[in-house]
Amino acid sequence: MVLLQRGGVKRILQHFYSGNHGNTKSLLPAADGAAGRRRNSTAVPDVRERTLIAVKPDGVQRRLVGQIMQRFEQRGFKLVGLKMLQVSDDLLSQHYCELRTKPFYPSLLHYMTSGPVVAMVWEGHKVVQTSRTMVGHTNPAEALAGTVRGDFSFHVSRNVVHASDSPEGAQREIQLWFQRKELLNWDCCDQTITCEL
Ligand code: IDP
Ligand code: MG
């Protein structure tokens, strides 16, 4: 067995964090050189991507909140915002501004204000794209089994959950639904296990 001196271990860690190790690129920011200190969060911004997920009134009424949250936790994403609210018409009209001219818009507003919604912000590598895959097709009749909509719904008018559709859209929606102080920056203790090789 080879015993590594302290300096040697440090050099090897720096080598790995800097990405100079073939195909095994770290998803976390570069090390700052001091053991135990927080790493520079600007090196790989991708792990800080955020998305808005909301359990719609039908999902809350059907007590699906726990199962839906569990899927995001299980996937390894980090919860950074969570609240239950009765959504206002004003918030919804901004949230769904692109759908204002659709024939189903009035019934969509009625549906979304029919009871409480549980809104969440999840953070992680490619969380927007991955969440859309996990949530499934807008129309549950087209959604694959294994997706939230594919497992818990069958009609587009009651599709259980919302997920932002792009990083830009997510940013806009998060600002709409959450105040800055309602979002927490915290270190997940399993981060190096889920994000690094
Ligand atoms: P998305 O939720 O998958 O992003 P969007 O096209 O953005 O889908 O539509 C927003 C929401 O409007 C849907 O999740 C669904 O609740 C509702 N919606 C979309 N299309 C229809 C429809 O044809 N009939 C009724 N409701 C619809
Ligand atoms: Mg949408």
CA distances (Å), origin 145, targets 59, 64, 142, 160: 17, 16, 9, 14
Nearest CA to ligand 1 atom 3: 138
Distance CA 110, CA 99 (A): 14
Is the pLDDT higher at 196 or at 130?
A: 130
CA of 99 from ligand 2 middle (Å) equals: 9
* pLDDT at residue number 63: 98
Number of structural domains (the chain) is 2
Structural domain of 3: 1-29
Is 39 part of any domain?
no
Catalytic residue among 21, 95, 110, 162: 162
Answer yes or no: do 2 and 72 share one domain. no
pLDDT band at 16 (very low <50, low <70, confident <90, very high): very low
Is 65 part of any domain?
yes
Please state, rounded to an integer, the average pLDDT across all residues of the chain.
Answer: 83
Helix axes 65-75, 127-135, angle to 10 degrees: 140
Q: Is 159 in the pocket of ligand 1 (CB under 6 A)?
A: yes
Answer yes or no: do 8 and 78 share one domain. no
Q: pLDDT tens, 126-182?
A: 999 999 999 999 999 999 999 999 999 999 999 999 999 999 999 999 999 999 999
Q: Is 109 in the pocket of ligand 1 (CB under 6 A)?
A: no
Q: Is 157 in the pocket of ligand 1 (CB under 6 A)?
A: yes
Is the pLDDT higher at 191 or at 149?
A: 149
The token pair at 59 is 């999902």
Answer yes or no: do 83 and 178 share one domain. yes
CA distances (Å), origin 120, targets 37, 83, 133, 174, 189: 29, 7, 17, 9, 20
Whether 162 is a known active-site residue: answer: yes
Average pLDDT over residues 91-109: 98
Answer yes or no: do 92 and 156 share one domain. yes
Nearest CA to ligand 1 atom 25: 157
Answer yes or no: do 59 and 142 share one domain. yes
CATH number of the CATH domain containing 153? 3.30.70.141
| Of 189, 187, 191, nearest in space to 80 by CA | 187
Answer yes or no: do 57 and 7 share one domain. no
